[in-house]
């Protein structure tokens, strides 16, 4: 039986990935900052503390065939660090470098790294993002993810460690943090939302679809040393997302058609530009590469993913 190491296993995505690999018959070693109180007893848990520290990964990859690296510093809604890029680099770049080196030394066959569609850029206009696009990371988070990708590629070439890089858009599902949770809260409270005039398209990714893509990348020989963009099959406008979320939550949506230019002006004044841009701009992902190379396709539609996210509302 093959054994996989999943980092960030106590997080929103990690917990779903652990269940997916267990269901597929893998032995799972789960690394987390601290072992959760409801830890699955089928899993070998390792508490690693702060992964930015030297020695956090020592011996962690011994006896495993595949590493799925999900741990890292994610988007921060209200940044408090004096030098955010340095903090992101410590956790997302240097910790990835040390883990990949540990994996190579331990004889791990394949290393799967969860990156971000932000490496491609923050918006699409006339064409969707593809694997062949020139990277245009613009935020400290996206810059750190791009640098981690480069570190992994270089180490793979020098050591023979196989790597797979997945770039994902916003991931949603039960207990999702960040902007998705914020939007769901607004809808649940019945607040009127000023997005009725928005005419954008955005790709999202259901966490169950992501976990299945990770599992596929762990076993398919065609994934070796590849980059894939991954998302749900359909993109959605912000007004339609609000309506679908309201339906999944079992409540009504309240959309007002406020002019987009007025919303952008208000965001500049209030300092909420980055959050609002993610609701106003388009960001569409082309997943034809992973569909063709790995014969993988998202098993859950957007509407199915949203229903699974809020099962108690039905």
- Strands in 131-260 per DSSP E: 162-168, 171-172, 205-206, 226-229
What's the number of domains the chain is made of? 1
In terms of residue numbers, what domain contains 215? 3-172+206-231+284-298
3-state secondary structure of 92: helix
pLDDT single digits (tens) 33-89: 999 888 888 999 999 999 988 899 999 999 999 999 999 998 765 667 778 899 999
What is the pLDDT, as a whole number, of residue 258? 96
152, part of any domain: yes
pTM higher than the cut 0.85: yes
218, part of any domain: yes
248, part of any domain: no
- Residue 21's nearest CA partner among 40, 6, 31 is 6
Q: What is the CATH number of the domain that holds 102?
A: 3.40.50.720
Q: What does the pLDDT average to over 178-206?
A: 95
3-state secondary structure of 64: coil
Distance CA 93, CA 84 (A): 13
Q: Which of 12, 111, 141, 163 is catalytic?
A: 141
pLDDT single digits (tens) 124-157: 999 999 999 999 999 999 999 999 999 999 999 9
Q: Is the pLDDT of residue 264 over 80?
A: yes
What is the pLDDT, as a whole number, of residue 1? 66
What is the pLDDT, as a whole number, of residue 266? 86
3-state secondary structure of 269: helix
162, part of any domain: yes
- Residue 30's nearest CA partner among 12, 20, 15, 51 is 15
Residue 61: phi, psi to the nearest 5? -100, 5
Share of the chain above pLDDT 70, in %: 96
The answer to whether 169 touches 117, Cβ cutoff 8 Å, is yes
239, part of any domain: no
Distance CA 210, CA 232 (A): 9
Q: Which of 31 and 311 is assigned the larger pLDDT?
A: 31
Report the length, in residues, of the chain: 314
Distance CA 301, CA 273 (A): 29
107 CB neighbour count, 10 Å cutoff: 13
pLDDT single digits (tens) 268-297: 877 666 678 889 999 999 999 999 999 999
pLDDT single digits (tens) 98-131: 999 999 999 999 999 999 999 999 999 999 999 9
Q: Judge residue 169's burial from the number of C-beta atoms within 10 Å of its C-beta, 0-12 exposed, 13-18 middle, 19 or more buried.
A: buried
Question: Which of 196-229 are b and which e, b meaning 16 or more Cβ less than 10 Å from the residue's Cβ?
Answer: ebbebbbbbbbbbbbbbbbbbbbebeebeebbbb
185 CB neighbour count, 10 Å cutoff: 11
183, part of any domain: no
What is the pLDDT, as a whole number, of residue 40? 82
Distance CA 57, CA 113 (A): 16
* Residue recorded with tokens 């990770």: 214
* Residue recorded with tokens 């956090």: 56
Structure-derived torsion over alpha carbons of residues 34, 36, 41, 46, reported in degrees to the nearest 10: -10
58, part of any domain: yes
196, part of any domain: no
Q: What does the pLDDT average to over 223-231?
A: 99
What value does the mean pLDDT of the chain take?
A: 94
User: And the tokens for 278?
Assistant: 């993610």
Q: What does the pLDDT average to over 190-216?
A: 97
4-8, 29-33, 231-235, 310-314: least confident range:
310-314
For the question of residue 172 being annotated catalytic, the response is no
Distance CA 173, CA 196 (A): 24
């Amino acid at each position: 039986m093959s054994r996989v190491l999943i980092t960030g296993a106590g997080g929103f995505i990690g917990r779903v990935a652990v269940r997916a690999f267990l269901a597929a018959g893998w032995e799972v070693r789960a690394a987390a900052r601290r072992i959760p109180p409801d830890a699955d007893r089928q899993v070998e848990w390792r508490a690693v503390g702060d992964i930015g520290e030297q020695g956090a990964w020592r011996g962690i990859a011994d006896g495993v065939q595949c590493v799925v690296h999900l741990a890292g510093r994610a988007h921060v809604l209200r940044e408090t660090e004096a030098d955010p890029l340095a903090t992101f680099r410590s956790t997302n770049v240097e910790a990835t470098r040390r883990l990949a080196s540990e994996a190579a030394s331990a004889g791990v066959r394949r290393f799967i790294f969860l990156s971000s569609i932000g490496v491609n850029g923050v918006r699409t206009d006339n064409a969707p993002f593809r694997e062949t696009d020139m990277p245009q990371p613009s935020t400290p988070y996206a810059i750190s993810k791009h640098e981690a990708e480069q570190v992994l590629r270089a180490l793979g070439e020098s050591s023979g460690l196989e790597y797979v890089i997945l770039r994902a858009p916003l991931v949603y599902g039960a207990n999702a943090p960040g902007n998705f949770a914020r939007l769901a809260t607004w809808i649940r409270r019945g607040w009127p939302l000023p997005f009725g005039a928005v005419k954008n398209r955005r790709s999202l990714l259901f966490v169950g679809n992501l976990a299945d893509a990770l599992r596929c990348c762990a076993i398919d020989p065609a994934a070796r040393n590849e980059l894939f963009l991954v998302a749900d099959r359909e993109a959605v406008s912000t007004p339609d997302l609000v309506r679908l979320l309201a339906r999944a939550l079992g409540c009504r949506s309240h959309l007002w058609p406020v002019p987009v230019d007025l919303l952008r002006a208000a965001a500049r004044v209030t300092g909420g530009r980055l959050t609002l841009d993610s609701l106003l701009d388009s960001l569409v992902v082309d997943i034809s590469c992973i569909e063709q190379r790995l014969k993988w396709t998202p098993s859950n539609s957007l509407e199915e993913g949203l229903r699974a996210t809020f099962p108690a509302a039905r």
